[in-house]
Amino acid sequence: MNSCNRDFCIDDCCMDNCCIEGCCVDERCALAAVLQSVAMQEGALAAILCAESEKIKKAVCLAKCIDELIAINESAAQTIGTVKELENALKEKACCAIEALQDLRNNDSCK
């Protein structure tokens, strides 16, 4: 287990003794879980983009006409647009969680 640096709860809600602070442990653990969730969702979105790339590569090899390629390209563009929207939502969620963690860190009652 990593040593706690009092910035964020890590490693299973940071069971390290230095982080058991009463008022902030639950909030920090919840915010750390939000950040972990964002990271996992980012990984899933990366896999989706990779799959779209592979789909286009296959389509270039297998398509029998330009219309098939255009349809696949439009499908990929739509998926990429959706992923972009999800990325923006995840960025906002992560920024809010980081800001909340910093607020907790600066709160005198939690030091």
Q: Are 69 and 63 in contact (CB under 8 A)?
A: yes
Is the pTM higher than 0.85? The answer reads no
Q: Is residue 8 part of a domain?
A: no
Q: Is residue 3 part of a domain?
A: no
Range(s) of the domain holding residue 89 = 25-100
Q: Is residue 14 part of a domain?
A: no
The pLDDT tens digits of the residues spanning 52-80 come to 999 999 999 998 999 999 999 999 999 99
Q: Is residue 105 part of a domain?
A: no
The pLDDT tens digits of the residues spanning 79-109 come to 999 999 999 999 999 999 999 888 888 875 5
Q: Is residue 46 part of a domain?
A: yes
| Number of domains making up the chain | 1
Count of CB atoms situated within 10 Å of the CB of 35: 17
* Lowest mean pLDDT across 1-10, 29-38, 57-66: 1-10
Polymer length of the chain: 111
- Supply the pLDDT for residue 105: 81
